[in-house]
Structure 1
Amino acid sequence: MMSRTSPCLGGVQLSPRRVTSLGPGLPGLVSIIIPTYRRVKEMREAALSALAQTYPNVEVIVVADGPDPDARAAVEGIDARLRYFELEKNSGPAEARNRGVRMSRGEWLAFLDDDDLVLPERVERCIAAAQADRPNVMIACRTIYRRDGKQDDVWPQRPIGPDEDVSEYILVRPSLLGRPGVIPVQALMVHRSIFEIVPFTTHRDHEDWAWLLEAWNIAGARVEFVWEPLVIYNIVTESISRSRRMNWRDSLHWANRYRKWLTPRAYNSFLATKVALKAKRAGELKGVAEIFMTIANNRPRPLDILFVAGVALLPNVLLQAAWKRSLSSGESHETPAEASTPR
C-alpha cells in the first residue's frame, strides 16, 4: 500500500498534501489533460492530435490557466469527448494540470503541453502495456524532440534500468555532449491513484522533474517503456525565456530542496550542467565558482569538473552551440504528415 503521509525533506514541508479521493475512474478510459496559456492555435492542434487516437476510449480535457474566451471558442463543439475548463486566475501549469486531474474520469491519465502533439498510436500502445493491478507502474514512450520546426531527434537513447535510480537516469550526463535519460511528463501514462498521493507542485523551474521525484519516492511509482517515439515535443531553441536561462539560484535551491532524493552523482551533474550554465549566462562568475566548490566537496566525477571548467572558460556563444549540438540524438524519425499537422 502506498503511503499517504505528507513528506518532508530535511524537515521542510514539500507541499500541502490534500488527500482527495479521485475515485477509481472508468475502467479503460484514458484522460488526456492539456493545460494551456495564450497558445490558442497550438492548443487546438494539440487537442486534435489527442482526439485522433486509434484507441477510441479517450477523453480530452483542456484547462486554460486563467479566463480565456479565445481558447474556449477554439475548442467549442469540435468533439463530444473534449471538455474545457478555466482557472479563475493565472496560477501556473501545475495547478492547471491538477484541475484537469480533478475533472478527469479516466482510470489512466496522460498529459500534453499546448504546443506539443501525440501520434495516433500513442494511447493504444501504452494502454496495451498498462495493468490495473500494477497502478504504481507508469508507462512511458519515447519522445520526438522537434527543434525549430525542422530537426527531429528521438530521446531517450536507452530505457531506465530495472534497478536504476530515477535521479541518476534523468540528471547524470554520460559525456560532455551526451544527454541523460528523458522522461517528460508528456510521455507518461499514469494511473489516477498516483495523483491522490502526489499532485503537481509549483516551482520556478524543473516542475516535471520535481513531480517525477515525488512520484518515485513518495508514491513508489516506477517507469516502464514502450520503446516507440509517440510524442512530439517542440523546442524553439532561441525562445527559452531569459529568466529561465539565468535563474541559477532558483535551480540551486531546487537541487538542495530535493537533495535527499538525488544521488551524489545526480546532484553533482545537475549543478555542473544546469546550475553552473545558468550562472554563467547571468554573468555571475562568483556563482560558477560557488558551484565548483560545492561539487569539489562532494566527490565529483572528472566529467563534472570538466563541465564546470568549460562553463567558466568558454564564451556563451560556444556554450549555446554546444547545448544545441547535445540535442542531436543521431536518431531521426519520419513523422506522418497527418500527425504533424492535424486539422
Structure 2
Amino acid sequence: MSRRHHQQHIRQAAVAPAPAPAPALERSRAVEELHPVLLDLILRMNIVPPGEIGSLSEAALANAVTLAISMLPEDEQTRIVSRIMTDDEIAEERLNHPRLQNLQSRVALSQNERRLLLRASPEPDDDGANEDEAGANGCIICFDRNAVAVPCGCRYCASCLRELVRVGLRSEADFPPRCCRPFDEATVRLAGRPALVHLFRQLSAEYAVPPAQRLYCHNPGCASFIPASAIQAAARDEANATALVLIITLMGTIMSIITCITGSIIVSIFIVVSIVVSTIASTIMGIIMDIIMGIVSVPSLVRPQSFRNMAMTVVMLRFPPFFYPMAFQQASPQSGEHKVSAYTTSCSSFRPPTHASRLEDAR
C-alpha cells in the first residue's frame, strides 16, 4: 500500500461515526417522580427486575416501595424516612393522623409538632358575602356571620378563634387562651382542630405543676414534660417489682429451710435404720458363726438333741438372759424322764454353761 493510500485510510477511520449509544430505558411518570432514595432501595432489595421497573404503574410502584421498606430493620426505616421527609413533613403527617382526631385519648405532641401546629396556617379566603349585614351576630374580628359564641358572649368565626387559641398556647405567660374570660377545653374544641385540644391538655398538665417541681425528658431532641401521673405509675411499678422480688426471695428461703429440715429427718431415719439393721445382721452372723464353730470343735454334737441344746446355749449367750427366762429340759436316754437342766430359770442364778458341761450333756 502506498503512503498516500495509507494516509487516506487513516483519515477515513478518523472521521468514521462513533457507535450509537444504547437507548435508555423508558420510565413511566411515576418512576420519574419517585424519590431517588426509594428507587435505589427498590433496586437494592431486588423487589422488581431493573428492566421492568420503567413499566410499573403508580399503584404497583407504591406496593414495591412499601414492601422494600417493610423488609428493612426499624432503625434503617427511620433513617430512610428522615432522608426523604423533612421534620416539618413528618410532623404534619402525624398531625393529620387519625389517632389525633380521637379526643377520647390523650396524645403528647413533640416539639416539632407543637411548633408546626402553632404556626399560622393559611385559611380559605371568603368571597365577602357573609360580611354584609353581619351586625351583632358576626365575628368581632372579621365580621363573618358564621361565628360561634365563647363563654364570655363574644362571637368568633372558626378561623379567628383558631388564631386566638394559638396565641394563648404559645407561651406560659399567654396561657390559657382567653377573650374576656379564660377558655376551657370545651371552648378550644369549638376551633375545630383536635390537635389544638391535645396541646391544650398537655400544657394544662404542665403549667399546673410549679416550675421547681416539673420534670422533663433528658433528651434534648424531646424535652417533653413528664406528668406526675407517669412518675407515680413508674414508682408504683417499681414498688410492685420490689415487693415481687422480696416475695420470691422469702419463698425461696422458706423452701430451702423446708428442704434442709426434710433432708435432716430423712438422713436421721436412714442412720437409725442402718444402725438397727447392722446390729441385727451382726448378731445373726455371730450366732451362725458360734454354731458353726461349735460343730467344728465338737464333732459329736451333730446329734439333733445335742445340736438343739448347743443352739439354745448360743442364743442365751448372745442375748441378755433377762429377755429369755427359760429352762432347758432334757430327756434322759436311760429312764425317759424329764429333768430340769442346771442352767436355772431365774436370771439371778443363771450361769453360762462351760465347755465341760456341754461335753457332759452330749454324753
**TM-score, normalising length: structure 2:** 0.22
Could you say which structure has the higher helix fraction? Answer: 2
Could you say which structure has the higher strand fraction? Answer: 1
**TM-score, normalising length: structure 1:** 0.23
Greater RCO (CA < 8 Å, at least 6 residues apart) = 1
